[in-house]
A and B are shown apart, each in its own frame.
Chain A
Amino acid sequence: EPEVTQTPSHQVTQMGQEVILRCVPISNHLYFYWYRQILGQKVEFLVSFYNNEISEKSEIFDDQFSVERPDGSNFTLKIRSTKLEDSAMYFCASSETRGRGLEQYFGPGTRLTVT
């Protein structure tokens, strides 16, 4: 069964450093998303991406964040200058369509630890 994959599974970085989290969405999916989950809390939406541009972003997704689809398979989230409060699990998700086909499938996540 096709699945969303993410790398790395765990990333440790120092405050102020740049990190890139990588995702490979399900191959026939057209919509891509990033969510984050701070330890013990609910999953929060960051950004959605379709047709090589951002569709929607939350207030969490500020100028420090960016997303990119550098090739036909990868989808990346970049945090330019990490802060302690960026420590969280970051989940990539993809869906085939929006609206009635809104079934988002999540990857296993990347645990980001900022020290």
Chain B
Amino acid sequence: GQQLNQSPQSMFIQEGEDVSMNCTSSSIFNTWLWYKQDPGEGPVLLIALYKAGELTSNGRLTAQFGITRKDSFLNISASIPSDVGIYFCAGQGVYGGSQGNLIFGKGTKLSVKP
């Protein structure tokens, strides 16, 4: 089935740094979504992307739907302590049977540098 490769697996930030993470797939996706998950909680939707090439911002977050429809990135500018958490990309595929369910990446864990 379709799979998403998310990188990096983890990263450490200092307050004020910019952060970048991405997701790639060997197959095409119709929709890309980015979620943040705090420990013990459900994923919270950050940004939704529907069109190849689309660039969308939500405050300090910016995400893009790759032109090839096989990748997406998420940038966080001027990070703050509450940005810590796990970020998941999720995609909706194009092929029959994938008309609603989301396929998730394995997540990028954002931590604060000691």
Contact = CB atoms under 8 A, between A and B. Distances in A.
Interface of A: 4, 31, 33, 35, 41-45, 48, 50, 55-56, 58, 91, 95, 98-100, 102-109, 111
Given A33-B102, A44-B104, A45-B103, 19 more contacts: A33-B101, A43-B43, A43-B104, A48-B101, A50-B100, A56-B97, A56-B99, A91-B42, A99-B30, A102-B48, A102-B92, A102-B102, A104-B45, A104-B102, A106-B35, A106-B42, A106-B44, A107-B42, A108-B41
B100 A33 contact: yes
Residue among B30, B42, B103, B105 facing the most chain A CB atoms (10 A cut-off): B42
Contacts of B105: 42
Contacts of B106: 41-42
Nearest to A44: B104
Contacts of A108: 41-42
Contacts of B74: none
A43 B34 CA distance: 13
A65 to B, nearest CB: 15
B36 to A, nearest CB: 11
What class of interface size applies to chain B in its complex with A? 20 to 34
B31 A102 contact: yes
B107 interface: yes
Contacts of B63: none
B76 interface: no
Contacts of B102: 33, 35, 43, 45, 102, 104
B108 to A, nearest CB: 11
B73 interface: no
A91 B43 CA distance: 9
Nearest to B31: A102
A41 B105 CA distance: 10
A56 to B, nearest CB: 6
Interface in B74-107: 88, 90, 92, 97-107
B21 interface: no
